Structures are given as structure tokens and as C-alpha cells.
């Protein structure tokens, strides 16, 4: 993707002035603000209608920058070298003298950090004197945004600027791993947990147990298109939108294919945008066929499970 420098300048201008800006990442779009500024970060919570207790992920350009704010450890360095920049967020111990706004951490002593890979965002980060706090660019509990238009859909004219970076390549949020104490996966995501499990030798039970406790934003209804969604459906009801993961004969009237051939990466990439389309077409409910739990399927099923809590 070609980087438009005048757009980067515009984004920087608004961020330097404590405004929120929509930014592209390879996972989903973020609603970004200067992580060192109380004024800027408080705007994120207001725009997203996000509870104050739910901390934000901070996006950095490189290792040297994160060292100013966090204590790093060997496990982190190992994973950083292997996977960054990329779709993984690390919870680290915050340094006492860090400039990170208390809004970002909810006054706690840990910080979630991430090194996004998207070239447009990297260019922007390299031009800033501060890291960017950026939750997903959606109103709390709604579907994440994967394009500039989606961000516009969520916030309209309430945000001053959205930096365009095309469609997010992965389409699902980053994997979050807690590296304070014993490593734990807090959210399944774009970086497949198999890769992490091998390196850190997790027990599966441990992962499931900790997801709810440590990530406040993950324990309830989330990622919701705002209409009922049913999982593992073999017999859709006549007026339901049906999500399928490969082309096949279906006597159902309203079929939406997330992939032509069951490619789960493609399914992940198309999931949120297809849910958005279905909602705009005013369907009253969604049925989803069974999706294998392999690879990124684990994160897809995690999101769909949370979306299905809407009644």
C-alpha cells in the first residue's frame, strides 16, 4: 500500500492537539489518542461509551520506546523478536516513572502493549513523540471496524479524522498474552494460540480459566451485530441470514459466504464486514454454520460465541 504523507501529517496534527483519530491496523481499525495525555485518552472512553475500568492497549513503534514505560522480561523479548511487529499484545508491568495516562491503565500497574505491522500506522508512529492508546474503533460491545467506512459508520462526525489504510488484512483483534507472572493467554486472536502454546507450554484449562478474570472487556456480551446470532446451525429459519464458510448447495434464501472454500483466514477477514452488511440489510437474526476450531478458527469461534450472547 502506498503511504500518503500528507494524510500522515493530518493525523499527526489532530493527535498532537489531543484529538482522537481513527487509524488502520492489520487486525482491526483503532480509535487512537496520545497515550501520555489525560485529555486525549478521556475522549476515547467518551466516544466509545467505554467503562473507565476497561484499560486500553498502547501501540508502539519499537522496543526502545516501550522500555520507557514498561519493565520488560526475557519471555517478552523472545516473543517480540519472533512475532513483532504483528498481531499480538503483551501485558507488562508499568514503570513507576512512566508517562502513560492513568486513564489508559485504570490506575493499575500493568500495561497492554502492541507493535502493529500496518505500514501506514508504523509510519505515523515513527513521526510521533508519544505512543498511541487505541482500542478497536467501535462503540463498546459492537462489531469492530475493518475499514475507514466502518469507522465512519460507528462515530460519524464525532471524530475529526480517520487515516485510511485500506481494508484490515487479518480482520480479527490481536491475541493478548499476560507476561506479568506466569504467561497466560487473555484473549484468543489473530496470532494463533498453538504457536504460543508450543513456546510457553500452556495448559489449555489455564487459558480458559483466566480469560474471564483478567480482561474486563472480554467477560460479557461483545462483538455484537445487535441482533440474535445462533451458532452451529444446520437448519436455518426461513428469514435468517445464513453465514457459510464455503460454497455449496443451499436451499436457503439468504446465504452469505465468508469464504468460497473454507479458508479460515478468509473467514476471519470477512467476518465483521459481513455482519455489518447483514445488519444494514435489516435482517432480524443470523444463523452460522459450524466453524472448525482449528488455527484462527479458535478466535473466530470466540468472537461468535460472544456475539451470540445478544438476546
Residues that bind ligand TXA (CB under 6 A): 25, 27-28, 30, 54-57, 89, 91, 110-112, 114, 134-136, 173-174, 176, 186, 214-218
Beta strands 241-244 and 286-288 are parallel
152, three cell numbers: 465512519
User: How many beta carbons lie within 10 A of that of residue 63, not counting itself?
Assistant: 14
Nearer to Mg ion, 50 or 123 (CB): 50
224 binds Mg ion (CB under 5 A): no
Residue 287's DSSP bridge partners are: 230, 242
Residue 215 Cβ vs ligand TXA, minimum distance, rounded to whole Å: 4
* Residue of closest CB approach to Mg ion: 136
Residue placing its CB nearer to Mg ion in the complex, 136 or 192: 136
Least separation in angstroms between residue 253's CB and ligand TXA is 34
Q: Which three cell numbers stand for residue 68?
A: 520507557
H or E segment at 261?
none
296 binds, among ligand TXA, Mg ion, none (CB under 5 to 8 A by kind): none
Closest CB to ligand TXA among 268 and 291? 268
C-alpha cell at 10: 493530518
Give the separation between CA 57 and CA 151, rounded to whole angstroms: 18
CB-wise, 143 or 229, nearer to ligand TXA? 143
- Measured from the CB of residue 115, what is the shortest distance to Mg ion in angstroms? 18
Provide the mask over 105-144, with x wherever binding to Mg ion is found by CB under 5 A and - wherever it is not.
Answer: -------------------------------x--------
- Candidates 272, 250, 35; CA nearest to 147 is 272
- Identity of the residue, 116 or 236, whose beta carbon is nearer to ligand TXA in the bound complex: 116
Partner from Mg ion, ligand TXA, none contacting 28, C-beta within 5 to 8 A by type? ligand TXA
CA 65/CA 189 separation, integer angstroms: 24
**Smallest gap, in angstroms, from Cβ of residue 167 to ligand TXA?**
14
What's the full length of the chain, in residues?
311
Closest separation in Å from C-beta 244 to ligand TXA = 26
d(CA 25, CA 229): 27
Q: Measured between alpha carbons, how far is 131 from 125 in angstroms, rounded to an integer?
A: 7
Please report how close the Cβ of residue 144 comes to Mg ion at its closest, in angstroms.
6
H-only helix segments in 38-100: 38-48, 63-66, 74-83
Amino acid at each position: 500500500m502506498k503511504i500518503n504523507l500528507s494524510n500522515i501529517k493530518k493525523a499527526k496534527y489532530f493527535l498532537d492537539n489531543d484529538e482522537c483519530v481513527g487509524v488502520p491496523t492489520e487486525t482491526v481499525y483503532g480509535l487512537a489518542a496520545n497515550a501520555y495525555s489525560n485529555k486525549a485518552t478521556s475522549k476515547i472512553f467518551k466516544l466509545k461509551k467505554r467503562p473507565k475500568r476497561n484499560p486500553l492497549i498502547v501501540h508502539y513503534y519499537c522496543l526502545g520506546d516501550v522500555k520507557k514505560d514498561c519493565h520488560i522480561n526475557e519471555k517478552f523479548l523472545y516473543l517480540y523478536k519472533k512475532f513483532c511487529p504483528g498481531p499480538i499484545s503483551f501485558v507488562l508491568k508499568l514503570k513507576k516513572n512512566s508517562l502513560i495516562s492513568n486513564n489508559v491503565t485504570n490506575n493499575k500497574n500493568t500495561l497492554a502493549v502492541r507493535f502493529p505491522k500496518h505500514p501506514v500506522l508504523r509510519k505515523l508512529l515513527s513521526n510521533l513523540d508519544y505512543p498511541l492508546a487505541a482500542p478497536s474503533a467501535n462503540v463498546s460491545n459492537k462489531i469492530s471496524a475493518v475499514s475507514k467506512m466502518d469507522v465512519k459508520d460507528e462515530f460519524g462526525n464525532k471524530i475529526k479524522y480517520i487515516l485510511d489504510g485500506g481494508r484490515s488484512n487479518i480482520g480479527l483483534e490481536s491475541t493478548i498474552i499476560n507476561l506479568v507472572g506466569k504467561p497466560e493467554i487473555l484473549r484468543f486472536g489473530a496470532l494463533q494460540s498453538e504457536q504460543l502454546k508450543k513456546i510457553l507450554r500452556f495448559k489449555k484449562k489455564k487459558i480458559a480459566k483466566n480469560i474471564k478474570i483478567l480482561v474486563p472487556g472480554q467477560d460479557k456480551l461483545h462483538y455484537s451485530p445487535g441482533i440474535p446470532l445462533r451458532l452451529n446451525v444446520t437448519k436455518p429459519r426461513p428469514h435468517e441470514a445464513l453465514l457459510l464458510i464455503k460454497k455449496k448447495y443451499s436451499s436457503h434464501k439468504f446465504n452469505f459466504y465468508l469464504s468460497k472454500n473454507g479458508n479460515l483466514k478468509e473467514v476471519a477477514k470477512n467476518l465483521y464486514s459481513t455482519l455489518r452488511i447483514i445488519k444494514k440489510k435489516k435482517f432480524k437474526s443470523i444463523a452460522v454454520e459450524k466453524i472448525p476450531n482449528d488455527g484462527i478458527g479458535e478466535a473466530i469461534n470466540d468472537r461468535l460465541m460472544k456475539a451470540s450472547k445478544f438476546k
